[in-house]
């Protein structure tokens, strides 16, 4: 079985969200060929926790016996969860597993064989990484088979939409432009079609008066005909035919859409996606969904916000970002080792409110720039980036 390029894109570049989204109630015949491997993996002393999902246990077991062993041996000096670097080699294997999925095995593999941090990284790892990649890709295939799929790409991508009104009204922060797609007609080629309509509101995003890209909010879904219910999983933003990998807000959407009143997939009310990009009048916008499928008629209409679109608070303060306790202290835990005090790298002291607020736009750009990220070790986890994004997009409050 093979995976399409887009399917791999979703699995590796979007923080493993499909693994977290989909509930596997019937793993079917695919599990029979995996039982021996899973059982033996569960017997390993390094297995401290299972995921609670027997299909995902396949990936978890393979991570522990494969990449985790390599990362603990070669990367734990920086990636142990106690520094700004992503903790995919921490002693907490369950946490390391989640962070590994969030970073993506390709990014981690490329750093391992590159000039990221010699001699811990470098070409001398080529053989080991080549084997680990093959094992991991085989485990991903097994995961797909386990969830009952054939490996065929189930993602849905809409046609492109444009609107000059978005830029024309960029100086009016109260104006949002609606873009909508009819999934019975706005699907390219022979793509599967659905009697559904989706709309979002878009405006030019500004931070401290500077244009940084686009803000997207209020994704609303409605059934246009028939009595069937539909489940929608994972929404991503596509701009100029490129998937916006770093966007963090809507990836965990898991909603059941019923006939009648349209439903807001981000019902928390404060879920706003930020797309960091230069703006142009010719920009084209589309949406991609991890999957859309008919739901059981007995399933309740729901946005499933418990696992859903935006789990960060309505606002995040500088005081919380720099606190010594809590779960929002991203600056302290991820950035202070380089950006604190008189010797702060680049002259950016993130323990100083005025300095941090003045650099808010740059901070937001760098934490979402996979090519030149901050921290330098690679993109922070999606939850960490969402916390910083919320601080910036709500005006960078101090308290």
For 329-344, the pLDDT digits (tens) are 999 988 998 899 888 8
- 3-class SS of residue 365: helix
Under the banding of pLDDT at 50, 70 and 90, the label for residue 38 is: very low
Sequence-distant (≥ 6) Cβ neighbours of residue 304 within 8 angstroms:
253, 254, 255, 256
Q: 285-306, pLDDT tens digit by residue?
A: 999 888 899 998 888 887 654 3
Residue that is written with structure tokens 């246990």 in the block = 57
User: Cα–chain-centroid distance for residue 222?
Assistant: 25
Note the pLDDT of residue 106. Answer: 84
Note the pLDDT of residue 245. Answer: 56
Asked whether the predicted pLDDT for residue 260 surpasses 70, the reply is yes
Sequence-distant (≥ 6) Cβ neighbours of residue 99 within 8 angstroms:
86, 87, 88, 90, 381
State pTM to two decimals: 0.54
Distance of alpha carbon 390 from alpha carbon 208, whole angstroms: 14
User: Cα–chain-centroid distance for residue 349?
Assistant: 28
Note the pLDDT of residue 100. Answer: 86
Distance of alpha carbon 194 from alpha carbon 65, whole angstroms: 42
Region 157-184: what's the mean pLDDT?
94
Sequence-distant (≥ 6) Cβ neighbours of residue 321 within 8 angstroms:
328, 329, 330, 331, 332, 350, 356, 387, 388, 391
Note the pLDDT of residue 201. Answer: 93
Note the pLDDT of residue 195. Answer: 96
CA 253 vs CA 18, 84, 116, 238, 248: distances in Å: 10, 28, 34, 16, 11
Distance of alpha carbon 55 from alpha carbon 29, whole angstroms: 12
* Tokens standing for residue 32: 């029979």
Under the banding of pLDDT at 50, 70 and 90, the label for residue 320 is: very high
* Tokens standing for residue 287: 């949406």
Q: Closest by alpha carbon to 292, among 179, 198, 178, 216?
A: 198
- Between 78 and 81, residue with greater pLDDT: 78
CB atoms within 10 A of CB 163: 15
Ramachandran class of 28: left when φ > 0, alpha when ψ lies in -120 to 50, beta otherwise: left
Q: Closest by alpha carbon to 387, among 314, 324, 290?
A: 314
Distance of alpha carbon 258 from alpha carbon 83, whole angstroms: 46
Q: 356-387, pLDDT tens digit by residue?
A: 999 988 888 888 776 677 877 666 766 788 78
- Between 282 and 95, residue with greater pLDDT: 282
Which phi and psi angles does 77 have, rounded to 5°? Answer: -60, -35
Q: 209-238: string of b/e by CB count within 10 Å (b at 16+)?
A: eeebbbbbbbbbbbbeeeeebbbbbbbbbb
Asked whether the predicted pLDDT for residue 251 surpasses 90, the reply is no
- Between 19 and 310, residue with greater pLDDT: 310
């Amino acid at each position: 079985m093979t995976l399409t390029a887009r399917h791999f894109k979703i699995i590796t570049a979007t923080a493993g969200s499909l693994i977290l989204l989909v509930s596997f109630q019937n793993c079917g015949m695919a599990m029979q060929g995996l039982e021996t491997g899973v059982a033996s993996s569960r017997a390993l002393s390094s297995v401290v926790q299972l995921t609670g999902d027997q299909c995902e246990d396949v990936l978890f077991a393979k991570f522990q016996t494969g990449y985790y062993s390599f990362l603990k041996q070669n990367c734990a000096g920086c990636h142990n969860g106690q520094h700004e670097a992503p903790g995919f080699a921490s002693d907490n294997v369950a946490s390391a597993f989640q962070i590994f999925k969030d970073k993506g095995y390709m990014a981690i593999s490329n750093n391992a064989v590159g000039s990221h941090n010699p001699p811990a990284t470098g070409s001398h790892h080529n053989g080991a990484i080549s084997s680990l990649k093959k094992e991991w890709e085989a485990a991903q295939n097994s995961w797909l088979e386990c969830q009952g799929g054939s490996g065929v790409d189930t993602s849905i991508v809409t046609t492109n939409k444009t609107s000059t009104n978005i830029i024309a009204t960029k100086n009016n922060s109260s104006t949002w432009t609606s873009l909508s797609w009819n999934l019975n007609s706005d699907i390219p080629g022979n793509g599967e079609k659905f009697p559904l309509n989706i709309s979002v509101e878009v405006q030019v995003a500004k931070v401290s008066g500077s244009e940084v890209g686009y803000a997207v909010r209020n994704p609303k879904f409605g059934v246009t005909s028939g009595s069937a219910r539909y489940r929608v999983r994972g929404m991503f933003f596509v701009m100029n035919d490129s998937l916006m990998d770093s966007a963090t807000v809507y990836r965990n959407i898991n909603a059941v859409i019923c006939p009648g009143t349209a439903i807001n997939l981000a019902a928390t009310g404060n879920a706003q996606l930020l797309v960091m990009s230069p703006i142009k009048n010719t920009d084209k916008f589309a949406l991609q969904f991890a999957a859309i499928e008919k739901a059981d008629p007995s399933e309740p209409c729901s946005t499933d916000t418990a696992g859903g679109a935006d789990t960060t608070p309505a606002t995040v303060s500088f005081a919380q970002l720099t606190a010594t306790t809590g779960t929002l202290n991203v600056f302290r835990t991820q950035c202070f080792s380089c950006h604190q005090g008189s010797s702060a790298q680049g002259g950016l002291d993130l323990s100083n409110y005025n300095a941090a607020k003045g650099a808010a736009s740059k901070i937001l750009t760098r934490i979402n720039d996979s090519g030149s990220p901050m921290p330098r070790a690679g993109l922070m986890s999606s939850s960490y980036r969402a916390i910083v994004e919320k601080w910036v997009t709500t005006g960078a409050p101090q308290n």
